[in-house]
Amino acid sequence: MLAAVALSQSDADPLSGLDIKDVDEPVAPEGWAKVEIRSSSLNMHDVWTLRGVGHPADRLPIILGCDAAGVDEHGNEVIVYPVIANPDNGGGDETLDPDRALLSERHNGAFAEYMIVPQRNLVPKPAWLSFDEAACLPVAWTTAYRMLFTQAQITAGDSVLVQGASGGVASAAITLAAAAGAKVYATARSESKRALAVELGATEAFESGARLPEKVDVVIETVGEATWGHSMRVLRPGGTIVIAGATSGMNPPADLGRIFYLQQRILGSTGCTRSELVAMLRMMESTGARPRIDRRIALKDIKIGFQAMIVGDLRGKIVVQV
């Protein structure tokens, strides 16, 4: 079968280590399921793996891809929950299992014609979602969902700033927060991306670092160094920043005085539980919230999609059709 395989890592030229090649079809052991993949989607996580960030070289070669929607061996349409972990080891929350692994970290991922996952990782795909839409959800959308509803616990009327607009997590956060009745502000680096934020449901969109009309209850952060100072400045006393990524850099000044004097709450967030994915599907059905798909590409053209992601030339999720 055809697959996109990470063979080596390079910070300067991450795509040099990615090969589209024929590999053996996987065989599911007892308790695992084989999925014929119809659609998957790109995440920054794949780029970090190719850059050698958070992924030891001794785990190569590995098939990349964290998001999948497809059909199991019994003909059921499924979404693949992407965290392989034991909830019991995380106090009932598999994202807190110290031994958890996202697909493509220790197990082959979704950029292939077939993949195998533990049976519990299959979630029924609702008929009202296409395979392409379903493939946008497992990483970016569920990360945004957990940030907003589990970590920040937003309710209707809360003011929420989403840093970035065009990214997978950021576009999901704008859509979901607006669907929940929050007043959503977003920042983005270009006029067309700010227009996208408003199209997705933001009340208003601003240039990165701009003064907002008010201090906000919650900031959703995945950008890191480039926006962190702004995130702290626009937060009301007692407000919450939830951070799930740091695309532009990991180590901005901590500004400890501001944190304790204004009693700001800073919460990390990673992935989601299987039950959060199911809960998000219920919310999407009742609100009509759907992912914004930037473009659809064939598996053989995956490098073109990654190049767009690396330079920030995207508006939502890039879907890979297998």
Ligand X SMILES: NC(=O)c1ccc[n+]([C@@H]2O[C@H](COP(=O)([O-])OP(=O)(O)OC[C@H]3O[C@@H](n4cnc5c(N)ncnc54)[C@H](OP(=O)(O)O)[C@@H]3O)[C@@H](O)[C@H]2O)c1
Contacting positions for ligand X (CB under 6 A): 43-45, 48, 139-140, 143, 164-170, 188-189, 193, 208, 222-223, 226-227, 244-248, 270-271, 309, 312
Please confirm whether the linkage preceding 61 is cis (ω < 30° from 0): yes
Residue type at 211? R
Residue among 38 and 193 whose Cβ is closer to ligand X: 193
- Work out how close the CB of 22 gets to ligand X at its nearest, in angstroms, rounded to a whole number: 28
Q: What angle do CA 62, 65, 294 make, to 5 degrees?
A: 150
Handedness of CA 239, 279, 293, 225 (dihedral sign): positive
Least spacing, CB of residue 12 vs ligand X, in Å: 18
SS3 130: coil
**Would you say how long the chain is, in residues?**
322
Distance (Å, whole) CA 61 – CA 67: 19
* Least gap, CB of 234 to ligand X (angstroms): 14
Q: How far is the CB of 235 from ligand X (least distance, A)?
A: 17
- Using the minimum distance from each CB to ligand X, give the nearer residue, 157 or 268: 268
Closer residue to ligand X (CB): 78 or 186: 186
Q: 43 or 121: whose CB is closer to ligand X? A: 43
Closest CA to 147 of 240, 57, 281, 85: 240
Rounded to 5 degrees, φ, ψ at 272 are: -160, 165
Amino acid at 60: L
Q: How many CB atoms are located within 10 Å of the residue 134 CB?
A: 27
Residue 162, beta-bridge partner list: 186, 220
| Residue 168 Cβ vs ligand X, minimum distance, rounded to whole Å | 3
- Indicate the residue among 33 and 152 with the shorter CB distance to ligand X: 152
Name which of 43 and 273 has its Cβ closer to ligand X: 43
Residue 278 CB, nearest approach to ligand X (Å): 18
Cβ neighbours of residue 253 under 8 Å, at least 6 residues apart? Answer: 229
